[in-house]
């Protein structure tokens, strides 16, 4: 089967950009299979995702990248080019909660994501049986305040050994250091409940229950040095009734977390996410 190329590009808005980029593909023998574009009317910023079949394409991949680079220079664009046959290698970081891990592994087994998951990393041994069930390597790094820097460096070396492209924090209950984040900039995705910053601390669901909240949310975002404030990829909410107990809130929260993280990983793995400053564009 022919490979599919996916181009993400953003630049100042200009007349004729869609036609110019579509013609760029057409003139070289490519067949466009998906195209979505957006113009920010306030910043006059253009963004586009275009996927095209490389069967019969007149350029090699190296020549294609050189041609896109030259075009991008003409229109003052930032861009990235990926190939769907080059599956991203993903490591999942977990602690003791298993709901997000199980959701991702089930969908991975159903081949919903164009990725490979060769590695699961944890700071506890509790979820090792799940990794063994799916035939995925499982490594434990016991982390405390005295060995954090040393252990994170060992984690980075392990990720490099496994040639990991992307890290998914599936309820990993550790704050990553700036050094770790820098090593995988814009390649770490987290999931958490959306009670922040209203309910901070160890028992947000009890706090939310006591306050009588009417909705629960979950947010998946890129990890940055600003805790839980990275560009958002996916969010969702569910309504809460006065009949719901604290355990009901937790159950509904878990359901949202696993689904929101799965949606975020699907969009990211299909190269549908474009970061623009503190926010993202997620192409459908």
What residues are labeled active site?
A: 228
Q: In whole angstroms, give the CA distance from residue 191 to residue 256.
A: 10
Q: In whole angstroms, give the CA distance from residue 140 to residue 143.
A: 9
The 8 Å CB, 24+ separation contacts for 243-249 are 244/209, 245/209, 246/205, 246/206, 246/209, 249/205, 249/208, 249/209, 249/216
Nearby residues of 263 by Cβ (< 8 Å), 6 or more positions away: 220, 234, 236
Which stretch of DSSP H or E encloses residue 277?
none
261 in Cβ contact with 191 (< 8 Å):
yes
| Residue 135 structure tokens | 């035939």
Which stretch of DSSP H or E encloses residue 81?
strand 78-83
50 in Cβ contact with 17 (< 8 Å):
no
Phi-psi region of 165 (alpha: psi -120 to 50; beta: other; left: phi over 0): alpha
- Whole-angstrom CA distances from 34 to 10, 23, 51, 64 are 17, 14, 5, 18
Q: Residue 50: which of 76, 90, 19, 74 has the closest Cα?
A: 19
């Amino acid at each position: 089967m022919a490979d599919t190329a996916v181009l993400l590009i953003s630049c100042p808005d200009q007349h004729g950009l869609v036609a110019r980029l579509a013609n760029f593909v057409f003139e070289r023998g490519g067949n466009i299979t998906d195209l979505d574009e957006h113009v920010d009317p306030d910043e006059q910023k253009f963004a586009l995702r275009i996927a095209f079949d490389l069967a019969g394409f007149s350029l090699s991949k190296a020549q294609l990248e050189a041609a896109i680079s030259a075009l991008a220079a003409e229109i003052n664009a930032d861009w990235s080019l990926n190939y769907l046959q080059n599956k991203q290698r993903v490591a999942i970081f977990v602690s003791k909660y298993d709901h997000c891990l199980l959701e991702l592994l089930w969908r991975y087994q159903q081949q919903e994501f164009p990725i490979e998951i060769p590695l699961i990393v944890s700071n506890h041994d509790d979820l090792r049986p799940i990794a063994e069930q799916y035939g995925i390597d499982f490594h434990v790094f016991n982390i405390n305040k005295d060995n954090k820097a040393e252990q994170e460096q060992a984690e980075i070396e392990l990720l490099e050994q496994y040639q990991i492209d992307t890290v998914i924090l599936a309820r990993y209950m550790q704050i990553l250091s700036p050094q770790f984040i820098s090593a995988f900039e814009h390649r770490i995705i987290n999931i958490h409940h959306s009670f922040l910053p209203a309910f901070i601390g160890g028992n947000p669901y009890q706090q939310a229950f006591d306050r009588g909240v009417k909705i629960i949310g979950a947010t998946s975002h890129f990890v940055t040095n600003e805790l839980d404030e990275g560009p958002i990829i996916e969010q969702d909410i569910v309504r809460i009734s006065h009949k719901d107990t604290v355990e009901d809130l937790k159950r509904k929260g878990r359901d949202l977390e696993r689904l929101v993280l799965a949606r975020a990983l699907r969009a990211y793995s299909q190269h549908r996410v474009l970061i623009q400053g503190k926010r993202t564009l997620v192409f459908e």
